[in-house]
Structure 1
Amino acid sequence: AYIWDKLNLKSQEVDLRKFDRLDGAASKVHAGGSVAELVKMLLMEMRSDLEKVRAIWIWVCHHIEYDVEGFHNTELRSSSPDSALRSEKAVCAGYAGLFKEMCSLAGVQCVEISGYSKGYGHEIGTQFRGDSDHAWNAVHLEGKWHLLDSTWGAGNVNHNSTEFTFSYNEFYFLTNPALFIEDHFPMESKWQLLEPKISLQQFENNLQKSSHFYNLGLQSIQPESSVVRTVNGKANITIEGTSPTLFIQKLHENKDCAIISLKTNGAEIEVYPQKTGKQKLKLFAKAFSSKDESYHFICEYLVHCDSINRKFKIPKELNNPVGPSWLTESQGLLQPSQPNPIIHTEDGRCSIKFHTEKELRVMAMLYSDDVQMTEDIKRRHIFQSQREQWVEFKVQLPQAGMFVFQLYANKKSVPGNHYNFICNYLISCTNPKVKWSIFPLTYNNELVEPLSGVLPANRSVQVKLRIPKVTEVSVQGKSVYPLTLTKAGYWEGTCSTTGSKDLNVMVQEIPNHNTYSFVLNYQIENE
């Protein structure tokens, strides 16, 4: 990869804000009867060569439509500057020819470059042979050549080039040569404007990153080759950028084959194909700060999978991103006890802790493709407790397998019971002996024991829990068993499960009052 100024995507430092007035005026100029008349009207107030090139660029990108009919039928195609101006349509050669003619009339040195491009419809692995398939320009400013492509700056065609949409793209104006070479390969190597030059084979093999990749502030991605081979059924991709960014992926149109972990201004992506062979992996991204919910295509890999990791199947309920990150911190969940997205447990149990903001309410659910669970059971394999500003989730799995731990939160000040999705963990257990029962049904207390929600029949059971701001606590079954408040602040005592179908822990909040509140329930096994 070539070194480039990662703070500036241009080959020349340009303050685009200074072009606001120029751009607005240039885009509104109406074409005259000839190219010469147009240039005269367009450049009346332009002084520097950079301003002249900018005005020409803006006009061409906003007024010349890609000629999709001419692209498919050469008899309908005309590439002369005059015909492009009259019809306001052109293919790439028409764009480049018109741009060169306008620059020449403006007194700016400009050349037309032909070569190969990775445009719409390009397939990874394509070998470029024969005549060129695209044309663009280079302009000479302040003693240096700069590259630009007004065809791609004007807008987009669909996959089979039958429809054009105006969609201005700043990226292709004075693009840094190290970035331009990713999708433009000139027939004359000198117009790479790079040292050392890259070969056609390197151009064919290198990963093509879309303009959105760089416009989003992303800087690098590994691997740099467009073809990736799995190792033990997995492929790894690492992305780095300059600002918080969200990502999604599609592997052969399947969204359930990858784990995306957000890192500081980037991401790590683990891909687990569910079939062997060659498959397209498409990556999309959006700025976290953007109010637009749409994700933009940033690149595509061709994944070669020789074998499937059948021991690692991602549950369908897993939503990316997975694991704690700057995203969970932005939602008020800090200092995670489990920093990794995947939790491996041998005995089927684990604990997840977060430091929380005071005004945050949190809840969690457990999902699995292999275990049918009601909504209540999904919650009751997780025991949630909160002390001061720490929230802890104890998890007991009903069996071995892959489970999704989903975390939700909202502000206490927000009315209603709507919780926002925060993140997932993936919990993996391979021990076939694991078979934990549900936790007890509990409300607003810190339970120490017993943690199993199902108790054996005909047993004496020790109970210990912390419930602040109550005056009396008892366990009610066939009999009533009062608990005692210790100096450490716990309510403790012993109760019996004999003759009971369940046990309920009741509390009295007002002294000498007959009103009791239910806070905890245990089920009793059948005899």
Structure 2
Amino acid sequence: MGCGSTRVAPVTEPIPVKIPELNRTKKKTKKESNDSESKRPKTTRSTAIPDKDAQNTDHHQQLVNDIEAADPYAFNTLLIQQRQKAIDNHSYRSAIQSWRPNSLQQLVNAIKSLSENKSIVDCHWIIFYWITYNIEYDAVSYFSKNYADQTAEGVFRTRKGVCAGYGNIYKYLCDALNIPCEKVSGYSKGYGFDERESVPTETDHAWNAVEINHHWYLIESTWGAGHLTEEKNFQRELNSYYFLPKPVEMIYHHLPENERWQLLQKPIGMKQYVQMPKLQPLYFALNLDLISPRNQVHVNLVSGKAYALILIKGPSDVDLIAKLKLNNKRIEGGDRVEFDTKQQMHRCYFAPNTIGKHKITIYAKKGDKENIYQDVIGLTLNVNEMPENPISFPKTWKNFFDLNMEVVSPKDTHLIKVHNRQTDAEVLIRSPDDVELLGSLTNTREEKVEGGHQVFYDRHKSLWRCKFAPNCDGMFDAQILAKRKADKGQYTSAVNFKIDAKNILTPPMSYPNTWPLFYELGLKIESPRNRATAVWPENASFAEIRISAPSDVELSCGIEFNGITNENCALAQFDHDKQQWQLLFAPQCTGLHQLMIYGRRQSSANTTSRSVAKFDLHVTRLRKPMNFPLIYTKFKTTKCRIYEPLEGTLKKGAIIPFHCVIPGATEVDLQVDSKWVGVKGYEDPILKTDITVGSKEVIVYAKYEQNTNYDGLIRYSVV
């Protein structure tokens, strides 16, 4: 049985053409003899003049030298319409599925009744559909070579058969209905064909030829019924392509023993047949055109290069992917497909990593809505000697080329090694200004590595830096996703690299979650470095993060637990000695917390603070929950800092030392329960004083030259 085991999904049927139902006038013919191979197909043309376009419906006729239909009028508009109408007639299918014939004669009578006053094409479809729906391919007989009775009676009785049985019962039913039909024996590129080492010497397949209105056509009910899987089981799957397929397409995978049944102007021989590429039905349906290699199944490496190149013309809405296999095992990084929009050309690259006979399979789908690719082309690549500098390709998606992305580094490889105490890998990507990227790192169990990636745009180099840090030894997938900035949709996969981690540095590096604004503001994490998780001191009350920033950047922060932000539990202040922002976080319980950091440029008056980074914080033991004092806007804009007291709740009647940095103020004073204290301990920028806590609140104020009023900076509550 010639059933391809690489098909992913059924071939899409042609778009139906709605036309009025046509009556069939049955032409009486002399019953043919059993020696079907001795009959020459009739080529008498219909007296009806076909449409001009119908004479040139298949641009693939020139794919192999001189492959042209013997009867260019066979697939005229009327035949094409009748064929599609029969396929789309679901009442036929329902009726046939309800039949329970106990004999071949009962089946013949049922076909006669259903096809009465219908076209001869309808009658053939009824026969074709009954066989494909009811006859199961006998995989056990095929693989054991112990064939059961393949006569029409035997196949009908067991409802099983191999190709000979399918051909016999089709011819029997046609003969009983007085319809011209022949059984054709020959060779097919079906199951097991790729494993052959030599040219076949004995026929291995059978199908049928039928005459309709003085034209001859082919019928392949075996392949129309389904295919064999890699597990050697029959998978029933109606494929209407094999109902009256075009001879110029069938010749790529069916070679009749008697050349007359090729139905070609110039029949081809076995040598040319085995050298032709293996083209599947969807190849023709999608209007693909194999440009190079032309007319050949064998592909060679490009001279002086480490890869082979296949060129395929096709519509822009057709997407291709490919696989390069050796001994039925896919070669990682062995293939790459890109689309040249100017030439409407798919360029398919294949890079072997060892010598041997490789199998190339190219898959296709039409449109973005379809998510299943189906194989369309099968080729071979024989490598007898490896090139001096082998290469490989990262996995790319259509999005990569649509967005005009380019891998700057690493070149010519799909594999990045992180070995011997290295910490991370870096991929450099160049893209247009309106494109933005994201990253993701997963292990072999498809688990996301938290803190395993960092992607940002380097404005100095005008490229994207995509960093990936594996968290243990092993293999990882580093995936880069992309979209246009103006696109409100989600990011989609663009390119993927493999990372091989071995003897990495411990503890492993990790990255906090960062937003594009982090890099736009020129921020730099000083502590903790190379960690996605903030450090929690043993038995502490708060954690610290330090970030360097340009002088016109202002930071703020917050702490979340279970998605809820805790008020007055985070404090952002500026350390003038180190020229860093000190960000403090006081959790109220143990567990996993998220530390959010926000930023903005002070020069942009109308700009609100937005997310720039996020760290995780695992709190294992908490000495005592605390709150920070309430901070007013002026505290952040003038970059103040509190040394003490950091606790935001003061004890009534206590004497508390205050030590703060308040730059640029002309006066600083405190209010205790709305009464001015009259502080004398401020000398720009340092405030040092002791106060006695009242019963309500303590507020620190400052006056600046440009303002005659005091501005609130810090507020403490009292218990």
TMscore range, shorter length: 0.5 to 0.7
Residue number among 274, 280, 299 corresponding to 2:359 in the alignment: 280
1:474-501: CA deviations, max 9, x gaps?
98552559999779x99xxxxxxxxxxx
Whether the 8 Å contact between 1:114 and 1:135 is mirrored in structure 2 is yes
**Distance apart, 1:177 and its partner CA:** 0.9
Whether the 8 Å contact between 2:407 and 2:430 is mirrored in structure 1 is no
Q: Which residue of 1 aligns with 2:112?
A: 43
Q: Which residue of 2 aligns with 1:61?
A: 132
Greater Cα offset, 43-52 or 68-77: 68-77
Residue number among 481, 505, 522 corresponding to 1:407 in the alignment: 481
Superposition RMSD in Å: 5.0
Residue number among 373, 380, 383 corresponding to 2:457 in the alignment: 383
Greater Cα offset, 443-452 or 169-178: 443-452
Q: Distance in 2 between matches of 1:41 and 1:484?
A: 83
Q: Distance in 1 between matches of 2:172 and 2:60?
A: 32
Q: Which amino acid aligns with 1:254?
A: R
Structure 1 residues 45 and 396: CA distance shift in structure 2, 3 A:
closer
Structure 1 residues 75 and 448: CA distance shift in structure 2, 3 A:
closer
Structure 1 residues 83 and 143: CA distance shift in structure 2, 3 A:
same
Q: Distance in 1 between matches of 2:337 and 2:321?
A: 8
Residue number among 475, 478, 487 corresponding to 2:577 in the alignment: 478
Q: Which residue of 2 aligns with 1:112?
A: 183
Residue number among 263, 269, 276 corresponding to 1:193 in the alignment: 263
Q: Which residue of 2 aligns with 1:458?
A: none
Number of matched residues?
A: 440
Whether the 8 Å contact between 2:190 and 2:253 is mirrored in structure 1 is yes
Whether the 8 Å contact between 1:155 and 1:165 is mirrored in structure 2 is yes
Matched, 1:320 2:396: yes
**Distance apart, 1:148 and its partner CA:** 1.4
Q: Which residue of 1 aligns with 2:568?
A: none
1:13-41: CA deviations, max 9, x gaps?
1324642322332343222422x331221
Residue number among 205, 208, 219 corresponding to 2:288 in the alignment: 219
Q: Which residue of 2 aligns with 1:494?
A: none
Whether the 8 Å contact between 1:447 and 1:464 is mirrored in structure 2 is no
Q: Distance in 1 between matches of 2:160 and 2:601?
A: 87
Whether the 8 Å contact between 1:139 and 1:147 is mirrored in structure 2 is yes
Whether the 8 Å contact between 2:331 and 2:353 is mirrored in structure 1 is no
| Higher radius of gyration, 1 or 2 | 2
1:423-446: CA deviations, max 9, x gaps?
0288xxxxxxxxxxx999965538
1:88-126: CA deviations, max 9, x gaps?
122211211111121122232111111111110112665
Q: Which amino acid aligns with 1:379?
A: Q
Whether the 8 Å contact between 1:125 and 1:204 is mirrored in structure 2 is no
Whether the 8 Å contact between 1:281 and 1:300 is mirrored in structure 2 is yes
Q: Distance in 1 between matches of 2:299 and 2:168?
A: 39
1:142-189: CA deviations, max 9, x gaps?
2211111111111122458x5323221111111111110111001111
Q: Distance in 2 between matches of 1:340 and 1:413?
A: 16
Matched, 1:148 2:219: yes
Q: Which sections of structure 2, spanning at least 5 residues, go unmatched?
A: 1-54, 62-73, 412-426, 443-448, 469-476, 498-509, 527-547, 556-571, 582-599, 608-630, 640-719
Q: Which residue of 2 aligns with 1:101?
A: 172
**Distance apart, 1:228 and its partner CA:** 1.2
Matched, 1:260 2:337: yes
TM (norm. structure 1) is 0.67
Matched, 1:164 2:234: yes
**Distance apart, 1:60 and its partner CA:** 0.8
Q: Distance in 2 between matches of 1:310 and 1:464?
A: 50
Structure 1 residues 283 and 255: CA distance shift in structure 2, 3 A:
farther
Q: Which residue of 1 aligns with 2:203?
A: 132
1:418-470: CA deviations, max 9, x gaps?
975420288xxxxxxxxxxx99996553867979989xxxxxx99598999xx
Q: Which amino acid aligns with 1:45?
A: L
Q: Distance in 1 between matches of 2:638 and 2:133?
A: 74
Residue number among 258, 261, 271 corresponding to 2:350 in the alignment: 271
Structure 1 residues 63 and 202: CA distance shift in structure 2, 3 A:
same
Greater Cα offset, 243-252 or 271-280: 243-252
**Distance apart, 1:397 and its partner CA:** 8.8
**Distance apart, 1:260 and its partner CA:** 2.6
**Distance apart, 1:325 and its partner CA:** 3.6
Q: Which amino acid aligns with 2:432?
A: K
**Distance apart, 1:135 and its partner CA:** 0.9
Whether the 8 Å contact between 2:397 and 2:494 is mirrored in structure 1 is yes
SS at match of 2:131: helix
Whether the 8 Å contact between 1:115 and 1:187 is mirrored in structure 2 is yes
Whether the 8 Å contact between 2:331 and 2:352 is mirrored in structure 1 is no
Structure 1 residues 116 and 510: CA distance shift in structure 2, 3 A:
farther
Q: Distance in 2 between matches of 1:74 and 1:144?
A: 36
Q: Distance in 2 between matches of 1:362 and 1:246?
A: 23
**Distance apart, 1:285 and its partner CA:** 3.9
Whether the 8 Å contact between 1:449 and 1:465 is mirrored in structure 2 is no
Residue number among 363, 377, 394 corresponding to 1:299 in the alignment: 377
Q: Which residue of 1 aligns with 2:321?
A: 247
Whether the 8 Å contact between 1:249 and 1:281 is mirrored in structure 2 is yes
Whether the 8 Å contact between 1:57 and 1:150 is mirrored in structure 2 is yes
Matched, 1:173 2:243: yes
Q: Which amino acid aligns with 2:311?
A: T
Q: Which residue of 1 aligns with 2:89?
A: 19
Structure 1 residues 349 and 287: CA distance shift in structure 2, 3 A:
closer
Q: Distance in 1 between matches of 2:398 and 2:335?
A: 10
Q: Which amino acid aligns with 2:319?
A: T
Q: Which sections of structure 1, spanning at least 5 residues, go unmatched?
A: 327-335, 368-373, 386-391, 427-437, 455-460, 491-508, 518-527
Q: Distance in 1 between matches of 2:377 and 2:637?
A: 64
**Distance apart, 1:240 and its partner CA:** 3.9
Q: Distance in 1 between matches of 2:58 and 2:389?
A: 44
Q: Which amino acid aligns with 2:577?
A: K
Q: Which residue of 1 aligns with 2:389?
A: 310
SS at match of 2:223: helix
Q: Distance in 2 between matches of 1:196 and 1:313?
A: 42
Matched, 1:445 2:523: no
Structure 1 residues 202 and 319: CA distance shift in structure 2, 3 A:
same
**Distance apart, 1:76 and its partner CA:** 4.5
Alignment of 1:477-516 (within 5 A): 478=577, 480=579, 512=634, 514=636
Q: Distance in 2 between matches of 1:105 and 1:465?
A: 93
Q: Distance in 2 between matches of 1:6 and 1:354?
A: 41
SS at match of 2:634: coil
Q: Which amino acid aligns with 2:106?
A: E
